[in-house]
Structures are given as structure tokens and as C-alpha cells.
């Protein structure tokens, strides 16, 4: 459940009878460690925009809200599509406003889904605990959307439009939901907000500059705060811009890549580093550049990968020693050249959107880690240790890697012959910690959360090793308990579930850390004091 939805849930007894002004005041006063994450048309950087698939994925990527666009069919049904024509997303020249809802459902979008109704999206938002940021595209869609929200008793919502007349219409009809005016580059947000009776200003300035954050002047921010107008930011996918915007007093940031806004940021008192096992492999195909980049973007420090060797002696990243499971090729990896593997399809087995993913060379991952200024956890499968060290040395990537293998002799060789290399040892492979440490102090000792003694962390650290816990489960309760043990790292399949668990752990009242609820201001609502 998102932070925003937990907030609305805490108010469920009062919210039914709240006015728009009361809801606006609550939203304006809502404080949190970082701006809300609004997935632009869902996770549209990963899936087809404005589809149930894109919205469901946005929820998994820890978005707080989904930005959706509303059109009307010929018989007045509210549906979700940015364009009124199906050309872009379905390849057919059909205008939504010209066909009935029943007829519209007969067309299939490029991902195989029909155009979703707003009702369906509300139902999914309720199931996943996400809010809706609704942009009114079609004339006359506003009152119909409001009626539908009331009918379905859905309150975690903001309604917006570029057209001030559509917002003013809803204000005149005593719409109970906060209204946001979308502001094009060059326009005055405050005059538009006044004309449209808006409660928020949504600055659509992504194309106004290479550094549009500079347009958010101190004067503009102060004026917005004085008028109690929360600021929502354009859809942004530039890492440097997002980093700057996250430090500014804005209410929400839209993004096609919601993992960049909802990214994992551990508290300094418990700075657990995420190690993504084979990349973010629950969202993108394992051991591909897509899964590695997704992991880095969401805040993981390290990507775990597996090395095998090609017929022409190149080191490549793939888990199995055969190609059958994760590519469109078959047979042993060692019987194919790097050139052959660079042309294979290593992603369609997971999702059609990843059909261009290939089996990539180890050097490509070294370059990726360097670009993100992050790390790799390298497991040697069918890979010569000396050859691996040569590639790491050639790029001076010692500080960006640590190594392990089921072949203990390879780990021993690395540790003895390459003192600048860092190795990992598994606690489960030794009768006790003293025997493990007798092999030489590793950079990391990995503990399995199910079978190892998790009370040894202090002893392990005292020897000079870091503690990493292998946690391949997806249970939130177990993850929250593990976070309380404060390991240095976690080796996990699903970093997004872990990030949610970390948020739960923070809100559980860890001593010395102020939670968002503790930091929030008291706001007068309907004559009573509530904590937002």
C-alpha cells in the first residue's frame, strides 16, 4: 500500500463527508520524506501507456499514484487513453468518441488488451493501494468522472486538466476532489490556477529547458506556498533532474520510469544496501542489461550476475551453461561465439517488450556499473578466475566488484593471487565462523536468513567483513524483521518488495528515526484535530 493510500485509509471515517477544500488542505499539509511518485500513464517506460498492465506494473514499482487520461465513447463511457484516436496504440484509424463502448472493446491495443474503462482502473487502483491523478481530455468528461468516483467511493484522487474551463465547471458543481491545473511552458501558473479554481499547479515544463528545475525559482515556490498551491512536476526521466527535484518542496513528480522517483533511500542509521540477484529479475529478464539498469535506477547498490565463457573465449553474463531457458537459442553457451549471442533474443521469454535484450559481455556490465558509479557481485560459473581478473584489471574495476563461485578453489585463487580483489564467502559452507575466517578475511560473508545463525553479525563485522543476508522470499513481514537486524547488504530477487518493507519498518517507530507521521503537521478538519 502506498504512503498516500495509507494516509487516506487513516481518514476513512471522515473522508466521505469532506469538502474539496478540506481534502485540499490535507493534501497540501501532507509531509513525507520525499515527493509522491506519480507514474505517468502508468509505468509507460516499461509497458504500453494507459493500460491495466502498465498500471499494475507501476504499483509493483512502488508508485503512489497513476496519471491517467480520460476520453469519452460515443455513448458517454469514461475510458482511459491519451489520444482520442487508436492509431498510436492499436494501429487502427478509429476515434474513441465515434464508437460505442461495446464497439471500442472489440479493438485490441498492441499489448493485446482493450482500452480500459475508468471503472476498471479505479478497481485496480483500489486493489493495489494506489491513487489516481486524472487528466480530463474529453469535453464533458469531468462530471462523469466525479459521478463515477462518488459511486465507487474512491477518494485517493486528484483531477486535472490543461483546460481551465473544465476545472471551473467542476468547482461550480462543488466537486469534492482536489483540482490541478496543468501549466504549459511559458504560461503563468497562478493566473491559470485562479481562472480554473485549482487547488494545485502541475508544471508541464519538461521541454522548456535541459535543466527545467532551474525554472522553479525561490520566488515561484514562495508564491505557491503563500497561496497554498502544492506543486506537481512534469514527467521526468533524467537522473540529474530527478535528484535535484527530490530535494525541492514539490508535492509530486510524474515519471514514465516510476522506479526513479520511488527509489530506495535507506535511513543513515540503517543504510542497508540492496544487491539485486540477477538484476531486478521479477520485473525484467534475469541477467540482462534491462534488469541491471532497472535495479540501479531503483536504488540498488549492487547487481549480482553470473559469468560463463563463449566458444571464442569471451566472458558473458548468463546464469545457465545452456541457452535454452532464457534465450531463443539452444545448446551450451560454450559452443556459441559472442557475436552469435549478441544477436540472440534473451528477453521475449519474459515479456515481448524485452525482445531486443541479448546475452551481453561482462565488459558491458563493468561499463554500466562505472556509469552508475555502483557495484557488481560476480559469480563465476564456467569462467576462468584469471581471465575474469584480467578484465577487471584492464578497467581498474577492483572497487566495483566482489566475487564468488561454487568452485571454492577459484575463490581461494582470487583471494591469494589478487589481493586487490574482494571475495564473498557463504556462512553455510563452513562449520563455524572461525573456520570461515581462517581462509582469510573476505569482503563479505553471506548469511541465509533461513538456515544460518543471524546472531553473528557483530562478530563477523569485528573481523573486518561485511554482512550480507540472502533473502529470496517476498513476504513483507519476514523482510521487516530482517531489516531490524541491520545487515550491511541484502541479496534479493525483488528489490521493490524489500523497499516497501523498509518503509514499513521505518513507520514501525524505529528508535531515533522520525517517521513521516511524527513529522506531519496537525491540521484542523471538521472541527477536530487529525494527524495527516
Whichever domain contains 111, its CATH number is 3.20.20.190
Instruction: Give residue 17's pLDDT band: very low, low, confident or very high (50, 70, 90).
Output: low
Residue 15: pLDDT above 60?
no
Is 342 found in the same domain as 242?
no
Residue pLDDT, tens place only, 23-71: 776 665 554 668 999 999 999 999 999 999 999 999 999 999 999 999 9
Q: Which of 260, 285, 311 is the last residue of a domain?
A: 260
**pLDDT (0 to 100) of residue 3:** 53
**pLDDT (0 to 100) of residue 360:** 98
SS3 179: strand
**pLDDT (0 to 100) of residue 20:** 75
Single out the catalytic residue among 82, 277, 351, 449. 277
Examine residue 14 and state whether it is found in any structural domain, yes or no.
Answer: no
**pLDDT (0 to 100) of residue 28:** 58
From CA 238, how far away is CA 297, in angstroms rounded? 11
Examine residue 279 and state whether it is found in any structural domain, yes or no.
Answer: yes
Residue pLDDT, tens place only, 451-467: 999 999 999 999 999 99
From CA 170, how far away is CA 433, in angstroms rounded? 67
Residue 525: pLDDT above 50?
no
Helix or strand (DSSP H, E) at 293: helix 289-297
From CA 90, how far away is CA 183, in angstroms rounded? 29
**pLDDT (0 to 100) of residue 475:** 85
- Catalytic residue list contains 267: no
**DSSP H helical ranges for 395-443:** 408-417, 433-437
Q: How many other β-carbons are positioned within 10 Å of the β-carbon of residue 92? A: 11
Examine residue 524 and state whether it is found in any structural domain, yes or no.
Answer: no
Is 414 found in the same domain as 466?
yes
**pLDDT (0 to 100) of residue 266:** 95
State the first-to-last Cα distance of the chain, in angstroms, to the nearest integer: 16
From CA 266, how far away is CA 489, in angstroms rounded? 11
> Domain count of the chain?
2
Is 277 found in the same domain as 241?
no
Instruction: Report the range of poorest mean pLDDT among 95-99, 465-469, 480-484.
Output: 480-484
Is 449 found in the same domain as 312?
yes
Residue 515: pLDDT above 50?
no
Residue pLDDT, tens place only, 189-202: 999 999 999 999 99
Is 345 found in the same domain as 394?
yes
Is 56 found in the same domain as 173?
yes
Examine residue 6 and state whether it is found in any structural domain, yes or no.
Answer: no
SS3 21: helix
From CA 385, how far away is CA 372, in angstroms rounded? 25
Examine residue 8 and state whether it is found in any structural domain, yes or no.
Answer: no
**DSSP H helical ranges for 322-431:** 338-341, 362-372, 385-394, 408-417
Is 228 found in the same domain as 289?
no
Contact partners, residue 313, CB within 8 Å, separation at least 6: 387
Mean pLDDT of 431-436: 96
Mean pLDDT of 92-98: 98
**pLDDT (0 to 100) of residue 529:** 26
Residue pLDDT, tens place only, 320-362: 999 999 999 999 999 999 999 999 999 999 999 999 999 999 9
Mean pLDDT of 417-422: 96
Mean pLDDT of 478-501: 95
What domain range is 494 assigned to? 273-507
Is 210 found in the same domain as 318?
no
Examine residue 9 and state whether it is found in any structural domain, yes or no.
Answer: no
Q: State the average pLDDT for the chain.
A: 91
- Catalytic residue list contains 265: no
From CA 24, how far away is CA 171, in angstroms rounded? 13
Examine residue 141 and state whether it is found in any structural domain, yes or no.
Answer: yes
**pLDDT (0 to 100) of residue 498:** 96
Examine residue 164 and state whether it is found in any structural domain, yes or no.
Answer: yes
Is 231 found in the same domain as 119?
yes
Is 432 found in the same domain as 362?
yes
Instruction: Give residue 100's pLDDT band: very low, low, confident or very high (50, 70, 90).
Output: very high
From CA 272, how far away is CA 301, in angstroms rounded? 9
Q: Which of 260, 281, 301 is the last residue of a domain?
A: 260
Residue pLDDT, tens place only, 256-288: 999 999 999 999 999 999 999 999 999 999 999
Is 283 found in the same domain as 200?
no
**pLDDT (0 to 100) of residue 531:** 27
Provide the percentage of residues in the chain whose pLDDT is more than 90. 86
Is 232 found in the same domain as 348?
no
Amino acid at each position: 500500500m502506498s504512503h498516500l493510500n495509507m494516509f487516506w485509509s487513516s481518514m476513512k471515517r471522515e473522508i466521505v463527508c469532506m469538502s474539496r477544500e478540506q481534502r485540499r488542505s490535507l493534501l497540501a499539509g501532507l509531509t513525507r520524506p520525499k515527493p509522491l511518485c506519480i507514474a505517468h500513464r502508468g509505468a509507460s517506460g516499461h509497458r504500453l501507456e494507459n493500460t491495466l498492465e502498465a498500471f499494475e506494473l507501476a504499483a509493483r514499482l512502488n508508485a503512489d499514484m497513476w496519471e491517467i487520461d480520460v476520453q469519452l465513447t460515443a455513448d458517454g463511457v469514461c475510458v482511459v487513453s491519451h489520444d482520442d484516436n487508436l492509431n498510436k496504440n492499436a494501429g487502427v484509424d478509429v476515434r474513441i468518441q465515434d464508437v460505442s463502448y461495446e464497439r471500442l472493446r472489440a479493438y485490441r491495443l498492441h499489448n493485446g488488451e482493450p482500452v480500459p474503462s475508468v471503472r476498471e482502473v479505479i478497481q485496480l487502483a483500489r486493489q493495489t493501494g494506489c491513487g489516481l491523478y486524472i487528466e480530463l481530455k474529453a469535453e464533458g468528461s469531468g462530471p462523469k468522472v466525479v459521478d463515477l468516483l462518488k459511486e465507487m467511493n474512491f477518494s485517493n484522487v486528484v483531477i486535472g486538466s490543461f483546460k481551465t474551463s473544465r476545472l471551473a465547471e467542476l468547482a461550480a458543481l462543488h466537486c469534492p476532489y482536489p483540482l490541478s491545473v496543468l501549466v504549459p511552458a511559458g504560461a503563468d501558473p497562478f493566473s491559470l490556477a485562479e481562472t480554473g479554481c485549482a487547488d494545485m499547479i502541475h508544471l508541464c515544463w519538461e521541454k522548456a529547458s535541459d535543466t527545467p528545475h532551474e525554472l522553479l525559482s525561490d520566488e515561484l515556490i514562495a508564491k505557491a506556498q503563500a497561496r497554498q498551491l502544492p506543486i506537481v512536476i512534469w514527467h521526468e526521466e533524467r537522473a540529474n533532474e530527478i535528484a535535484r527535484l527530490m530535494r525541492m518542496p514539490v508535492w509530486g513528480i510524474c515519471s514514465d520510469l516510476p522506479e526513479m522517483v520511488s527509489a530506495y533511500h535507506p535511513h543513515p542509521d540503517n543504510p542497508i544496501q540492496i544487491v539485486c540477484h540477477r538484476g531486478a529479475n521479477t520485473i525484467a529478464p534475469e541477467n540482462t542489461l534491462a534488469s541491471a539498469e532497472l535495479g540501479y535506477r531503483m536504488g540498488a547498490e549492487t547487481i549480482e550476475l553470473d559469468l560463463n565463457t563463449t566458444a571464442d573465449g569471451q566472458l558473458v553474463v548468463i546464469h545457465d551453461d545452456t541457452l535454452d531457458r532464457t534465450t531463443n537459442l539452444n545448446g551450451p553457451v560454450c559452443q556459441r561465439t559472442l557475436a552469435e549471442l549478441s544477436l540472440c533474443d534473451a528477453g521475449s521469454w519474459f515479456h515481448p517488450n524485452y525482445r531486443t535484450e541479448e546475452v551481453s559481455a561482462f565488459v558491458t556490465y563493468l561499463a554500466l556499473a562505472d556509469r552508475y558509479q555502483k557495484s557488481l557481485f560476480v559469480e563465476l560459473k564456467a569462467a576462468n578466475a584469471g581471465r575474469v581478473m584480467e578484465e577487471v584489471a584492464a578497467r581498474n574495476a577492483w572497487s566495483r566488484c566482489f566475487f564468488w563461485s561454487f568452485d571454492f578453489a577459484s575463490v581461494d585463487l582470487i583471494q591469494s593471487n589478487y589481493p586487490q580483489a574482494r571475495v564473498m564467502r557463504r556462512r553455510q559452507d563452513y562449520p563455524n565462523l572461525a573456520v570461515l575466517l581462517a581462509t582469510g578475511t573476505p569482503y563479505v560473508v553471506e548469511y541465509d536468513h533461513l538456515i544460518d545463525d543471524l546472531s553473528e553479525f557483530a562478530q563477523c563485522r569485528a573481523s573486518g567483513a561485511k554482512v550480507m543476508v540472502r533473502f529470496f522470499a517476498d513476504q513483507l513481514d519476514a523482510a521487516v524483521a530482517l531489516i531490524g537486524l541491520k545487515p550491511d547488504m541484502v541479496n534479493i530477487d525483488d528489490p521493490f518488495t524489500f523497499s516497501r518493507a523498509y518503509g514499513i519498518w521505518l513507520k514501525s517507530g524505529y528508535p531515533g528515526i522520525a517517521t513521516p507521521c511524527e513529522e506531519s503537521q496537525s491540521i484542523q478538519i471538521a472541527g477536530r484535530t487529525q494527524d495527516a
